[in-house]
Amino acid sequence: MIQIGKLNTLVVTKEAEQGVYLNEKHPSEREILLPKGQVPEALKIGDSIEVFVYRDSRDRKIATTNRPRFMLGELAPLKVVSVNRIGAFLDWGLERDLFLPFKQQVGRIHKGEVHLVGMYVDKSDRLCATMKVYDLLQSGASYKVNDIVSGTIYNFKEAYGAFVAVENKYHGLIPLKELYGNYKIGDTLELRVKNVRPDGKLELSMRKTTHLQMEDDARKIMDVLEENNGEMGLHDKSSPEEINQILGMSKAAFKRAIGRLMKEGAIEITNQGIKRNW
């Protein structure tokens, strides 16, 4: 059976002015057109060719030798090329843009943005995009604790944290206690695997291992001091919310970093906050 959304190896059955017609070696359905501009010069009746199959503007199955940015069952970040009241259209590398229905969107989207999407076949046997990718992700990746991975945020849940598609393929979660700074759906981050759950899903951290993260945090504090004439209105009694807002780190990480800087003689703590010593 010829499958839309996937690569199919088909046989040339006849030639026509508008291109060539293709079918399976043992036909089980109607022939589909490979347009003239995509027919290789040496292709002839009886030859096999690998094509991607989707539907044209008149909802007819059509073949192309071009490769889309992803296939059915995969995920990919795609650019929004237009938005209207029923949905949006995404550039997936083919002549006809991919439709993202309004009901398959997560949050408001705008032209020019890039969003991670999956692909599905709707009730009319057409290919569509969806931002609801949870059920399209896999578990059981071969990552270990402290591995560094790339992940794209695809949803937020107040009770859990940020849901992440790791390498656009695997389930990941940044728990609330590991979520620092302001991020939005579609942001791609470098993350550390903090835990591999028994079901194979990944718990992720935005922070490195403690000794490496402390170096980064200390450097960040010194950079902020440099930008503010050597002073900062934070100290060890500042609230976690205030520290997170200014530095994007937890209070525990902040205290570790200023402790190190004080030990090195780089800063001192006053009633007004932190002061650089040089």
Q: What's the pLDDT tens digit per position in 172-192?
A: 999 988 887 788 888 998 898
Whether the CA torsion 124, 125, 131, 133 is positive or negative: it is positive
Q: How far apart are CA 57 and CA 77, in angstroms?
A: 23
Q: Give the pLDDT score at 16.
A: 93
Residues of the chain with CATH 2.40.50.140: 7-64, 75-134, 137-205
CB neighbour list of residue 268: distance below 8 Å, 6 or more residues apart? 262, 274, 275, 277
- The CATH fold assigned to 210-276 is Arc Repressor Mutant, subunit A (1.10.10)
Task: Please state whether the predicted TM-score (pTM) of the whole model is above 0.75.
Answer: no
Residue 98 has φ and ψ, to the nearest 5°, of -90, 130
Q: Tell me the mean pLDDT in the region 243-255.
A: 83
Q: How far apart are CA 152 and CA 188, in angstroms?
A: 4
Q: What's the pLDDT tens digit per position in 236-247?
A: 788 888 888 888
Residues of the chain with CATH 1.10.10.10: 210-276
- The CATH fold assigned to 7-64 is OB fold (Dihydrolipoamide Acetyltransferase, E2P) (2.40.50)
Question: Confidence class of residue 278 from pLDDT cuts 50, 70 and 90?
Answer: low
Structure tokens at 11: 């046989």
Q: How far apart are CA 158 and CA 114, in angstroms?
A: 23
**Architecture of the domain defined by 137-205:** Beta Barrel (2.40)
**75-134 carries CATH number 2.40.50.140:** yes
Question: Confidence class of residue 98 from pLDDT cuts 50, 70 and 90?
Answer: very high
Is the predicted pLDDT of residue 8 greater than 90, yes or no?
Answer: yes
Q: Give the pLDDT score at 68.
A: 96
